[in-house]
Amino acid sequence: MKFLDLAKVYIRSGGGGGGCVSFRREKYIEYGGPDGGDGGNGGYVWAEAVDGLNTLIDFRYQQHFFARSGIPGMGKQRTGRDGDDIILKVPVGTEILDEDQETVIADLNELGQRVLLAKGGNGGFGNLHFKSATNQAPRRANPGQEGVERTLWLRLKLIADVGLLGMPNAGKSTFLAASSNARPKIADYPFTTLHPNLGVVGIDNVEFVVADIPGLIAGAHEGRGIGDRFLGHVERCAVLLHLVDGTAQDVAEDYRTIIHELEAYGGHLADKPRITVLNKVDALDEEERNAALDELEKASGGKVLMMSGVSQEGLKDVLRALRSQIDNDRLQIRAAERASSGVEDEKWHP
């Protein structure tokens, strides 16, 4: 299945059915009177986040979604049937944008979340609705309201706990394959990864989701290489794992390149918790390791871990560090939810 994270759709809600002008005419009934029914309401257009989807590829083959219109009213006080609704089923983490691709209409980041995109038109009143003491035989009825037509963009941002960052061939896909059951493409040339991959990683009986995105190069925010269009998939992550190739000529420059691209991208991505790892240390001797580690720690201004995705050296230490950051993030989210709901934390008592 191909990966698609941006799609354009055209939607239209159903129009309301028109009201009916009718009069009761039955044998032996002296006073008939108006009996025209109302028209049915038009169908709505909804979007719903469902399970089992991780791409918008379905919207490449169908871009137009039109809800049914309501049925017009009929005689004998019969109201027309409402039009059927249409539900756009999207993956969890989908943003719905207006036609300008900037205005966010909804962010479906929870399973089962649903949002109304276009309301159907109301059905028109039949002549029975206009009957009064002074107008006992009305010959008017309202037409139904027209439906709403919109052009929208769907943009998918994957839901993951950890986002992998690094230059091309930094070992991101190798790390994902070594720590999970995911099988991304691995090769010895740049830009092996062309679309994001997800993997479920487990450490100490705790599981979390890791997202691997294509590598960044200098000028990615200007469109160089694959660009930074996939950075949106790590915006929701609790922590970023920055892998630096230990065999590179200048590890500090590689580190600064990625940080510069994060800052140029914006969206508070550069402020997220980040763990820096010197990767591919299995290809370095002790002296080269220490030199690269010192250089990278000076550039990052913090602690740097060492790891090898091939030999799995230091892999568990990195996973435990990621788990610690994820646990902290989940506790903060839980505390924020309690504070917003006005529920105080329960105090421990024997």
Do 109 and 168 fall into the same domain? no
Which backbone phi and psi does 276 adopt, to 5 degrees?
-100, 135
pLDDT at 346 over 70: no
Which CATH number covers residue 121? 2.70.210.12
Which CATH number covers residue 272? 3.40.50.300
Mean pLDDT of the chain: 86
CA dist., res. 8 & res. 153, Å (int): 5
End-to-end CA distance of the chain: 54
pLDDT digits (tens, 9 = 90+) for 146-167: 999 999 999 988 888 888 888 8
pLDDT digits (tens, 9 = 90+) for 283-317: 888 888 899 999 998 988 888 899 988 888 888 89
Do 223 and 191 fall into the same domain? yes
Burial class of residue 76 (count of CB atoms within 10 Å of its CB; 0-12, 13-18, 19+): exposed
Point out the domain boundary residue: 132, 156, 180: 156
Structurally, how many domains does the chain consist of? 2
pLDDT digits (tens, 9 = 90+) for 164-191: 888 888 888 888 888 887 777 776 666 6
Estimate the share of the chain in helix, then strand, then coil, as percent rounded to the nearest 5: 25, 25, 50
Do 30 and 144 fall into the same domain? yes
Average of per-residue pLDDT across 114-136: 93
pLDDT at 338: 61
pLDDT digits (tens, 9 = 90+) for 54-81: 889 889 889 999 999 999 999 999 999 9
Q: Does residue 349 form part of some domain?
A: no
Give the residue numbers spanning the domain of 17.
Answer: 1-156
pLDDT digits (tens, 9 = 90+) for 87-103: 999 999 899 999 998 89
pLDDT at 348 over 50: no
What one-letter code names the amino acid at 21? V
